[in-house]
Amino acid sequence: MKPDQLLRPAPAGLYCPAGDFYIDPVRPVARALITHGHSDHARAGHGAVLATRETLDIMEIRYGEDFCGTRQAAAFGERIDLAGVTVSFHPAGHVLRSAQIAVEAGGLTLGAPRDHKRGADPTRLPYQPVPRDHVITPATFGLPVFHHPEPKAEMGKLLTSLRQFPERSHLLGAYSLGKAQRVIRLLRDCGYDAPVYIHGSLARLCDYYVSRGIDLGDLRPATLEKGDPTDFRGAVIVGPPSAFADRWARRFNEPLIAFASGWMMVRQRAKQGGVELPLVISDHCDWPELTETIRELAPREVWVTHGREEALVRWCELAGVPARPLHLVGYEDEGD
């Protein structure tokens, strides 16, 4: 079997002609395999959905009970037959129970790590390398300038700021699925045990993480209606970055805007977003991790789905690994 009979780019996303299914399709399809719950990968309206139990639960939290026709939960490592094609899900280390999917038929294995991250993170199972002939990877931070620092050291900057500006409300922007729970857990691991206030839109996902055994400590709603803005003096308030652009944020006491994202490496992005305290905390591989993953897997070919494809393709060529960009559209990861 040729690799493109197993997976090929199509308008709706990565398509498996042999098994007639898509991986993370960007528009409704009859059968979808979903790697994780970020909104650019997990969309509502598919016929049948196959994903980990947690990804299915997260989709239900975000889109409601009837987000798809039928659903099937895949356990990590379980081999599932779809019209003669074997698929299996493996930890990707990106958000809670996010998966890389291996697709096998006719002695050929293609692996789609999609969004993944290496390095320690107590809110998810670590990434596991899964050997495959072809590696399909995004290149979200696919430029050599992207080196993500140690997350605890980044969080230490927030704790230092809290000591320096005890009057100010520290508003920490973090995407609602994965990043928000991760930064709260990081705060706890850095010894911060005061209540953390959360924007209402984070409540259900934080509750879900807690129900899956991720201890987030004392979480309270960041509701101003009842109280006085000075109630939040010196407090940490976590919310989606979109909330910090509106009036909600300005009602806090001398708000100091922090933002946890891999993009905070780019000074210009922090400036444009009015971020006073950028924290480089990412749920994606940085350049050294991306290239280490490819070296470790030593595939016959690398397919780069989206992001900064050209630089990674060029690096692969120089490393003697054939590579090509797939130019998939519609993936602007919400969880960078």
- Please tell me whether residue 333 binds Zn ion under the rule CB under 5 A: yes
Q: What angle do CA 75, 109, 295 make, to 5 degrees?
A: 100
- Under 8 Å CB-to-CB from 275, ≥6 apart: which residues? 173, 257, 258, 259, 264
6-65 residues in contact with Zn ion (CB under 5 A) are 38
- Which range touches Zn ion (CB under 5 A), out of 17-25, 180-188, 215-223, 325-333? 325-333
Q: Residue 212 or residue 233: which is nearer to Zn ion going by CB?
A: 212
DSSP per residue, 115-163: S---S--TTSPPP-----SEEEEEETT-STT-----HHHHHHHHHHHHH
Q: Residue 105 or residue 186: which is nearer to Zn ion going by CB?
A: 186
- Which range touches Zn ion (CB under 5 A), out of 48-56, 108-116, 134-142, 315-323? 108-116
| C-alpha dihedral sign at 52, 305, 290, 242 | negative
Per the document, the length of the chain is 336
Cβ at position 36, least distance to Zn ion in Å:
6
- Please tell me whether residue 335 binds Zn ion under the rule CB under 5 A: yes
Q: Residue 42 or residue 171: which is nearer to Zn ion going by CB?
A: 42
Cβ at position 94, least distance to Zn ion in Å:
5
Q: Which two tokens stand for residue 284?
A: 């994606």
Q: Residue 138 or residue 299: which is nearer to Zn ion going by CB?
A: 138
Cβ at position 114, least distance to Zn ion in Å:
7
End-to-end, the C-alpha distance of the chain in Å comes to 35
Residue nearest Zn ion, CB atom distance: 38
Write each residue from 109 to 128 as x if it is in contact with Zn ion (CB under 5 A), else as -, in one continuous string: ------x-------------
Helix (H/G/I), strand (E/B), else coil: 56? helix
Give Cα separations from 149 to 165, 229, 260, 275, 285 (angstroms). 24, 34, 12, 18, 11
Cβ at position 128, least distance to Zn ion in Å:
17
Residues at the interface with Zn ion (CB under 5 A) = 38, 115, 333, 335
